[in-house]
Amino acid sequence: MRRDDFVPEAGWQARLELGFERRGERTVLAHRVHDGPLVVQKALHPEGDAVCHAIVVHPPAGIAGGDALRLDVSAAAGAHALLTTPGAGKWYRTAGPAASQHVTIDAGDEAVVEWLPQETILYDGSVADIRWHARLAPTARLVAWDILCLGRTGSGERYAKGTARIATRIERGGRALWVERGRLGRGSGAMDAAAGLAGHTVFGTLVATGGAVSDELLGHCREARPSGRRGRGDAPARPLRRALSR
Protein backbone atom coordinates (compact mmCIF):
# COMPACT_ATOMS: atom_id res chain seq x y z
CA MET A 1 0.00 0.00 0.00
CA ARG A 2 1.34 3.43 -0.92
CA ARG A 3 1.53 6.14 1.69
CA ASP A 4 -1.13 8.24 -0.04
CA ASP A 5 -3.62 5.36 -0.47
CA PHE A 6 -7.09 5.99 0.88
CA VAL A 7 -8.22 3.43 3.46
CA PRO A 8 -12.00 2.83 3.25
CA GLU A 9 -14.04 1.95 6.32
CA ALA A 10 -17.05 -0.37 6.32
CA GLY A 11 -19.80 0.45 3.82
CA TRP A 12 -21.38 -1.26 0.80
CA GLN A 13 -18.93 -3.89 -0.48
CA ALA A 14 -19.88 -4.96 -3.99
CA ARG A 15 -18.22 -6.99 -6.72
CA LEU A 16 -19.42 -7.90 -10.21
CA GLU A 17 -17.73 -10.31 -12.64
CA LEU A 18 -18.78 -10.34 -16.29
CA GLY A 19 -17.46 -12.65 -19.01
CA PHE A 20 -18.31 -12.22 -22.70
CA GLU A 21 -17.81 -14.86 -25.39
CA ARG A 22 -18.21 -15.06 -29.15
CA ARG A 23 -20.53 -17.86 -30.24
CA GLY A 24 -20.84 -17.95 -34.00
CA GLU A 25 -21.74 -14.43 -35.09
CA ARG A 26 -23.14 -13.51 -31.67
CA THR A 27 -21.47 -12.11 -28.55
CA VAL A 28 -23.10 -13.37 -25.36
CA LEU A 29 -22.78 -12.65 -21.67
CA ALA A 30 -21.57 -16.13 -20.73
CA HIS A 31 -20.47 -15.51 -17.14
CA ARG A 32 -22.06 -13.29 -14.51
CA VAL A 33 -21.39 -13.36 -10.78
CA HIS A 34 -22.19 -10.62 -8.29
CA ASP A 35 -21.75 -10.11 -4.60
CA GLY A 36 -23.45 -7.09 -3.09
CA PRO A 37 -25.32 -4.26 -4.83
CA LEU A 38 -23.70 -4.23 -8.28
CA VAL A 39 -25.57 -6.04 -11.06
CA VAL A 40 -26.38 -6.40 -14.74
CA GLN A 41 -30.05 -7.21 -15.16
CA LYS A 42 -30.06 -8.29 -18.81
CA ALA A 43 -27.72 -8.46 -21.80
CA LEU A 44 -28.97 -6.49 -24.79
CA HIS A 45 -28.25 -6.53 -28.54
CA PRO A 46 -29.61 -3.22 -29.93
CA GLU A 47 -26.95 -3.15 -32.68
CA GLY A 48 -27.39 -6.75 -33.76
CA ASP A 49 -25.84 -10.02 -32.63
CA ALA A 50 -22.21 -8.96 -32.93
CA VAL A 51 -22.22 -6.44 -30.05
CA CYS A 52 -23.46 -7.32 -26.56
CA HIS A 53 -24.52 -4.35 -24.40
CA ALA A 54 -24.52 -4.52 -20.61
CA ILE A 55 -25.83 -1.80 -18.29
CA VAL A 56 -24.07 -1.92 -14.93
CA VAL A 57 -26.49 -0.95 -12.15
CA HIS A 58 -25.63 0.08 -8.59
CA PRO A 59 -29.06 -0.11 -6.87
CA PRO A 60 -28.21 2.25 -3.96
CA ALA A 61 -27.77 4.91 -6.70
CA GLY A 62 -25.13 6.94 -4.87
CA ILE A 63 -21.70 6.03 -3.50
CA ALA A 64 -21.09 6.99 0.11
CA GLY A 65 -18.04 6.99 2.33
CA GLY A 66 -16.81 3.46 3.03
CA ASP A 67 -18.37 1.94 -0.12
CA ALA A 68 -16.07 -0.23 -2.25
CA LEU A 69 -17.18 -1.28 -5.75
CA ARG A 70 -15.23 -3.66 -7.98
CA LEU A 71 -16.06 -4.58 -11.58
CA ASP A 72 -14.08 -7.28 -13.42
CA VAL A 73 -14.80 -7.62 -17.15
CA SER A 74 -13.36 -10.21 -19.53
CA ALA A 75 -13.94 -10.53 -23.26
CA ALA A 76 -12.78 -13.77 -24.85
CA ALA A 77 -11.28 -13.95 -28.34
CA GLY A 78 -13.50 -12.29 -30.94
CA ALA A 79 -16.14 -11.01 -28.49
CA HIS A 80 -17.45 -7.44 -28.65
CA ALA A 81 -18.89 -5.94 -25.46
CA LEU A 82 -20.15 -2.45 -24.65
CA LEU A 83 -20.64 -1.49 -21.01
CA THR A 84 -22.32 1.61 -19.69
CA THR A 85 -24.36 2.83 -16.71
CA PRO A 86 -28.01 3.95 -16.49
CA GLY A 87 -27.17 7.40 -15.13
CA ALA A 88 -24.51 9.60 -13.64
CA GLY A 89 -22.50 8.18 -10.77
CA LYS A 90 -22.95 10.28 -7.62
CA TRP A 91 -20.30 10.29 -4.93
CA TYR A 92 -21.64 11.76 -1.71
CA ARG A 93 -19.86 13.81 0.92
CA THR A 94 -18.37 11.85 3.79
CA ALA A 95 -17.46 12.48 7.39
CA GLY A 96 -14.11 10.80 6.80
CA PRO A 97 -14.19 7.30 5.22
CA ALA A 98 -13.12 7.05 1.58
CA ALA A 99 -15.10 5.32 -1.16
CA SER A 100 -13.56 3.38 -4.05
CA GLN A 101 -14.39 2.04 -7.49
CA HIS A 102 -11.96 -0.27 -9.26
CA VAL A 103 -12.61 -1.55 -12.79
CA THR A 104 -10.49 -4.23 -14.48
CA ILE A 105 -10.87 -5.12 -18.18
CA ASP A 106 -9.26 -8.16 -19.86
CA ALA A 107 -9.65 -8.51 -23.63
CA GLY A 108 -8.48 -11.48 -25.70
CA ASP A 109 -7.26 -11.52 -29.30
CA GLU A 110 -9.60 -9.77 -31.76
CA ALA A 111 -11.91 -8.83 -28.88
CA VAL A 112 -13.42 -5.35 -28.59
CA VAL A 113 -14.41 -3.73 -25.30
CA GLU A 114 -16.15 -0.38 -25.04
CA TRP A 115 -16.22 1.07 -21.50
CA LEU A 116 -18.54 4.08 -21.75
CA PRO A 117 -20.08 4.91 -18.36
CA GLN A 118 -22.06 8.07 -17.88
CA GLU A 119 -20.46 10.94 -16.02
CA THR A 120 -19.21 10.82 -12.44
CA ILE A 121 -20.35 13.64 -10.14
CA LEU A 122 -18.16 14.20 -7.09
CA TYR A 123 -20.04 16.09 -4.39
CA ASP A 124 -18.06 18.55 -2.32
CA GLY A 125 -16.72 16.72 0.70
CA SER A 126 -16.51 13.32 -1.04
CA VAL A 127 -13.33 11.25 -0.77
CA ALA A 128 -12.99 9.10 -3.90
CA ASP A 129 -10.51 6.52 -5.16
CA ILE A 130 -11.37 5.80 -8.81
CA ARG A 131 -9.27 3.41 -10.88
CA TRP A 132 -9.58 1.37 -14.05
CA HIS A 133 -7.04 -1.01 -15.55
CA ALA A 134 -7.21 -2.66 -18.99
CA ARG A 135 -5.10 -5.66 -20.02
CA LEU A 136 -5.24 -6.25 -23.77
CA ALA A 137 -4.08 -9.10 -25.97
CA PRO A 138 -1.93 -8.09 -28.99
CA THR A 139 -4.92 -7.74 -31.36
CA ALA A 140 -7.59 -6.60 -28.88
CA ARG A 141 -9.23 -3.19 -29.18
CA LEU A 142 -10.48 -0.81 -26.52
CA VAL A 143 -12.58 2.35 -26.56
CA ALA A 144 -13.04 3.93 -23.13
CA TRP A 145 -13.77 7.24 -21.49
CA ASP A 146 -14.26 8.86 -18.13
CA ILE A 147 -16.05 12.14 -17.47
CA LEU A 148 -15.79 13.84 -14.09
CA CYS A 149 -17.82 16.72 -12.68
CA LEU A 150 -16.28 18.36 -9.63
CA GLY A 151 -19.08 19.64 -7.42
CA ARG A 152 -22.64 20.51 -8.38
CA THR A 153 -22.00 23.86 -9.98
CA GLY A 154 -25.61 24.17 -11.13
CA SER A 155 -26.55 24.42 -7.44
CA GLY A 156 -23.71 26.80 -6.69
CA GLU A 157 -21.55 24.12 -5.07
CA ARG A 158 -17.78 24.25 -5.45
CA TYR A 159 -15.47 21.29 -5.01
CA ALA A 160 -13.52 22.82 -2.14
CA LYS A 161 -13.44 20.13 0.56
CA GLY A 162 -13.41 16.93 -1.47
CA THR A 163 -10.46 14.78 -2.52
CA ALA A 164 -10.27 12.49 -5.54
CA ARG A 165 -7.55 10.12 -6.54
CA ILE A 166 -7.79 8.95 -10.16
CA ALA A 167 -5.67 6.25 -11.83
CA THR A 168 -5.82 4.72 -15.32
CA ARG A 169 -3.58 2.02 -16.78
CA ILE A 170 -3.72 0.27 -20.16
CA GLU A 171 -1.42 -2.63 -21.01
CA ARG A 172 -0.98 -4.57 -24.23
CA GLY A 173 0.84 -7.87 -24.07
CA GLY A 174 2.03 -7.02 -20.56
CA ARG A 175 3.60 -3.69 -21.61
CA ALA A 176 2.18 -0.38 -20.45
CA LEU A 177 0.63 1.78 -23.19
CA TRP A 178 -0.97 4.45 -21.03
CA VAL A 179 -0.50 5.29 -17.37
CA GLU A 180 -2.22 8.29 -15.82
CA ARG A 181 -2.54 9.26 -12.19
CA GLY A 182 -3.97 12.34 -10.58
CA ARG A 183 -5.07 13.76 -7.28
CA LEU A 184 -7.54 16.62 -7.18
CA GLY A 185 -9.36 18.59 -4.56
CA ARG A 186 -8.35 20.04 -1.24
CA GLY A 187 -4.74 21.18 -1.31
CA SER A 188 -4.25 20.45 -5.02
CA GLY A 189 -2.95 23.29 -7.16
CA ALA A 190 -4.11 21.48 -10.30
CA MET A 191 -7.67 22.72 -9.78
CA ASP A 192 -6.88 26.29 -10.77
CA ALA A 193 -3.45 26.09 -12.43
CA ALA A 194 -3.22 26.98 -16.10
CA ALA A 195 -1.38 23.69 -16.66
CA GLY A 196 -4.21 21.86 -14.86
CA LEU A 197 -7.95 22.45 -15.01
CA ALA A 198 -7.65 26.26 -15.07
CA GLY A 199 -10.75 26.60 -12.91
CA HIS A 200 -12.95 24.31 -15.02
CA THR A 201 -15.06 21.80 -13.13
CA VAL A 202 -15.91 19.25 -15.83
CA PHE A 203 -13.33 17.28 -17.75
CA GLY A 204 -13.04 13.97 -19.55
CA THR A 205 -10.65 11.64 -21.33
CA LEU A 206 -11.36 9.39 -24.32
CA VAL A 207 -8.83 6.68 -25.17
CA ALA A 208 -8.87 4.25 -28.09
CA THR A 209 -6.33 1.61 -28.96
CA GLY A 210 -6.40 -1.02 -31.66
CA GLY A 211 -4.76 -2.00 -34.90
CA ALA A 212 -3.56 0.09 -37.82
CA VAL A 213 -5.31 3.40 -38.48
CA SER A 214 -7.36 3.27 -41.67
CA ASP A 215 -8.14 6.27 -43.88
CA GLU A 216 -11.77 6.02 -42.77
CA LEU A 217 -10.85 6.20 -39.09
CA LEU A 218 -8.43 9.06 -39.71
CA GLY A 219 -11.20 10.98 -41.46
CA HIS A 220 -13.61 10.50 -38.54
CA CYS A 221 -10.94 11.64 -36.08
CA ARG A 222 -10.32 14.81 -38.08
CA GLU A 223 -14.05 15.58 -38.11
CA ALA A 224 -14.50 15.03 -34.36
CA ARG A 225 -13.36 18.47 -33.23
CA PRO A 226 -15.21 20.79 -30.83
CA SER A 227 -16.67 23.92 -32.39
CA GLY A 228 -16.17 26.14 -29.33
CA ARG A 229 -13.27 27.21 -27.15
CA ARG A 230 -14.62 25.28 -24.15
CA GLY A 231 -15.11 22.00 -25.97
CA ARG A 232 -18.76 22.57 -26.84
CA GLY A 233 -20.31 21.60 -30.11
CA ASP A 234 -21.68 18.55 -31.88
CA ALA A 235 -19.04 16.05 -32.96
CA PRO A 236 -19.86 12.89 -34.96
CA ALA A 237 -19.42 10.66 -31.92
CA ARG A 238 -21.35 7.61 -33.14
CA PRO A 239 -19.56 7.20 -36.49
CA LEU A 240 -16.25 7.69 -34.71
CA ARG A 241 -17.10 5.06 -32.07
CA ARG A 242 -18.16 2.53 -34.67
CA ALA A 243 -15.00 3.09 -36.72
CA LEU A 244 -12.78 2.74 -33.66
CA SER A 245 -14.44 -0.51 -32.58
CA ARG A 246 -14.27 -2.32 -35.93
With CA atoms as reference, report the closest residue to 103 among 38, 46, 31.
38
Alpha carbons 177 and 138: distance in angstroms, whole number: 12
Q: What is the pLDDT of residue 238?
A: 56
Q: What is the pLDDT of residue 197?
A: 87
Q: What is the pLDDT of residue 8?
A: 47
With CA atoms as reference, report the closest residue to 164 among 190, 148, 145, 183.
183
Q: What is the pLDDT of residue 227?
A: 60
Write down the domain spans for the chain. 13-211, 214-246
In order along its 246 residues, the chain shows pLDDT tens digits of: 454 455 445 688 999 999 999 999 999 999 999 999 999 989 999 999 999 999 999 998 899 999 999 999 999 999 999 999 999 999 999 988 999 999 999 999 999 999 999 999 999 999 999 999 999 999 999 999 999 999 998 888 888 899 999 999 999 999 999 999 989 887 788 888 888 888 889 999 999 998 777 788 788 878 876 665 554 444 445 555 555 555
Q: What is the pLDDT of residue 11?
A: 81
Q: Which amino acid is at 185?
A: G
Q: To the nearest 5 percent, what fractions of the chain are helix, strand and coil? A: 10, 45, 45
Q: Is 102 within 8 Å of 47 (Cβ atoms)?
A: no
Instruction: Classify residue 182 as exposed, middle or buried by CB count within 10 Å of its CB (0-12, 13-18, 19+).
Output: middle
- 3-class SS of residue 216: helix
Q: Is 207 within 8 Å of 113 (Cβ atoms)?
A: no
